[in-house]
Amino acid sequence: MSTHELFATRASRMKASEIRELLKLLDQPGIISFAGGIPDPALFPTEGFSAAFQAALGPDQKAQALQYSVSEGYVPLREWLIDHMRSIGVECRLENILITSGSQQALDYLGKLYLSPGDTALVGWPTYLGALAAFNAYEPRFDRLSINGNRGAAEHAASAGEGAVKFAYLSPDFANPTGETVDLRGREALLDLADALNCAVIEDGAYQALRYDGDAIPPVLALELARKGSIEDCRTIYCGSFSKTLSPGLRVGWVVAAKPVISQLVLMKQAADLHSATINQMAIDQVARACFDTHIPMLRRVYGARRDAMLQALQDHMPDGVQWTRPEGGMFVWLTLPVGTHGADLLARALDTVKVAFVPGGAFFPDGSGTNTIRLSFSNSDEDMISEGIRRLGEVLRA
Ligand SMILES: Cc1ncc(COP(=O)(O)O)c(C=O)c1O
């Protein structure tokens, strides 16, 4: 008997991500890719990181940089995060912050912490594929999160059946994949729903800093803090990331939550990887202190211009019947194609005939619906490539 017959039941729920598989094909020359939601490497603060790694390996810091460390994370970085969170309306203390290996690790830990098999996770329809993958391993059922919608707490609780509704997961600013933002009323309504259901809220702030126009809306956690007075009374768990702002390769993210949640996550981190790489946390700390305040406005200018170029090109080249979102930030525009047009088929044709890549939208729906949708990312192409790529996509759609 081979050992793969011994895998636990959860293994059968783990599928290769359509995006990751696709990214393997994108090395071919001449492809214009709107597929990966990744930062433009030309914009990484490389000099700052070079100086930071040199300092971390210098005589004063090398022992700490290369040694084992505490699971909670590098203290100076957590102190910087206290100020950063305050700047977006969240008052918290050192004990409320855990550094994770990217926010993806936080999503995995939160799935592990909250979900027993059969429990319900409320998610957007569509939602971030990586969150679905992380939660899925803990064998939940997914239900459609309805904020301001026609399903209230009673309906959500009823459809959960035997299992409890454990949390609502959402990315309120410029979501992956739609680029859409939940307005203030929606955030307040979400908190009412979570109170009525007595469930946690997982707020994914991966794109929070990347706003190109419109006014910033307070994080859900900030709104809950304003209601309840102390983070210790809040049910919202905020997951942050340096991946979209400074570097995804260093794998540094963070969680802000009430102390009992952080303590339990620390135990998970001890069991899983002891701590995130200290030298990477030191480098992020130094670069954040040196240039976060100037780097973010630069990213907003560059990505904002790319967003504008994509929206203009869609206006110029899309045939009738195609609809798209107009994101105020982030990295994505979400297209709804005429019913019957299959995103995955379109991708095959676009790759083959005009060398344009994107992600078919079906993968972002827990039930595989939404086959007539696609996700386009504008972050990693310049304006000329964006215009040309969208022109070609329009050609394929017309054909
Ligand atoms: C909405 C969202 N959350 C979380 C992540 C994970 O980011 P990281 O683990 O690099 O912090 C991503 C990455 O694409 C994302 O789009």
* 19 pLDDT more than 60: no
pLDDT at 1: 67
pLDDT at 206: 98
Q: C-alpha distances in angstroms, 355 versus 31, 97, 378?
A: 5, 44, 16
* Radius of gyration of the CA atoms of the chain, in A: 21
Strand 253-256 versus strand 97-100 pairing type: antiparallel
CA distance 37 to 176: 8
Give the residue, out of 18, 99, 108, 128, with the most ligand 1 atoms within 8 A of its beta carbon, to mutate for a pocket test: 128
pLDDT digits (tens, 9 = 90+) for 30-69: 899 999 889 999 999 999 999 999 999 999 999 999 999 9
Across 278-305, b (16+ Cβ under 10 Å) vs e yields bbbbbbbbbbbbeebeebeeebbebbbe
Q: Specify burial of residue 56 (Cβ count, 10 A radius: 0-12, 13-18, 19+).
A: buried
CA distance 369 to 125: 9
Taking a C-beta distance cutoff of 8 angstroms, is the pair 163, 141 a contact? yes
pLDDT digits (tens, 9 = 90+) for 216-226: 999 999 999 99
User: What are the two backbone dihedrals, phi and then psi, of residue 375, each rounded to the nearest 5 degrees?
Assistant: -110, 130
* Ligand 1: residue whose CA is nearest its atom 12: 206
* 366 pLDDT more than 70: yes
CA dihedral 28, 29, 34, 40 (to 10 degrees): 110
Give the residue, out of 38, 101, 103, with the most ligand 1 atoms within 8 A of its beta carbon, to mutate for a pocket test: 103
Across 69-102, b (16+ Cβ under 10 Å) vs e yields bebbbbeebbebbbebbeebebebeeebbbbbbb
Nearest to 139 by CA among 165, 160, 120: 120
Nearest to 78 by CA among 103, 51, 96: 96
Q: Which residues, in sequence order, are CB contacts of 389 under 8 Å at separation 6+?
A: 32, 34, 313, 356, 381
CA distance 356 to 71: 43
62 CA from centroid of ligand 1 (Å): 30
Alpha helices per DSSP H over the chain: 18-23, 46-56, 62-66, 75-87, 102-114, 129-136, 153-160, 184-197, 220-228, 259-272, 278-317, 343-354, 383-398
Give the residue, out of 241, 247, 281, 332, with the most ligand 1 atoms within 8 A of its beta carbon, to mutate for a pocket test: 241
Q: Is the CB of 206 under 6 A from ligand 1?
A: yes
177 CA from centroid of ligand 1 (Å): 11
pLDDT digits (tens, 9 = 90+) for 166-194: 999 999 999 999 999 999 999 999 999 99
Q: Which residues, in sequence order, are CB contacts of 17 under 8 Å at separation 6+?
A: 129, 130, 133, 363
pLDDT digits (tens, 9 = 90+) for 198-246: 999 999 999 999 999 999 999 999 999 999 999 999 999 999 999 999 9
* 100 pLDDT more than 70: yes
The total of other beta-carbon atoms located within 10 Å of residue 52's CB is 23
* Ligand 1: residue whose CA is nearest its atom 2: 206
Q: Specify burial of residue 367 (Cβ count, 10 A radius: 0-12, 13-18, 19+).
A: exposed
103 CA from centroid of ligand 1 (Å): 6
pLDDT at 181: 98
pLDDT digits (tens, 9 = 90+) for 316-336: 999 999 999 999 999 999 999
CA 228, chain centre distance (Å)? 26
Q: What percent of the chain has pLDDT over 70?
A: 97
Q: Specify burial of residue 393 (Cβ count, 10 A radius: 0-12, 13-18, 19+).
A: buried
CA distance 83 to 78: 9
Tokens 């929206």 — which residue?
311
Q: Is the CB of 276 under 6 A from ligand 1?
A: no
CA distance 366 to 201: 19
Q: Is the CB of 331 under 6 A from ligand 1?
A: no
* Ligand 1: residue whose CA is nearest its atom 14: 37
39 CA from centroid of ligand 1 (Å): 11
pLDDT at 153: 84
What rounded mean pLDDT belongs to the chain?
94
Flag whether the pTM goes above 0.85: yes
Taking a C-beta distance cutoff of 8 angstroms, is the pair 206, 165 a contact? no
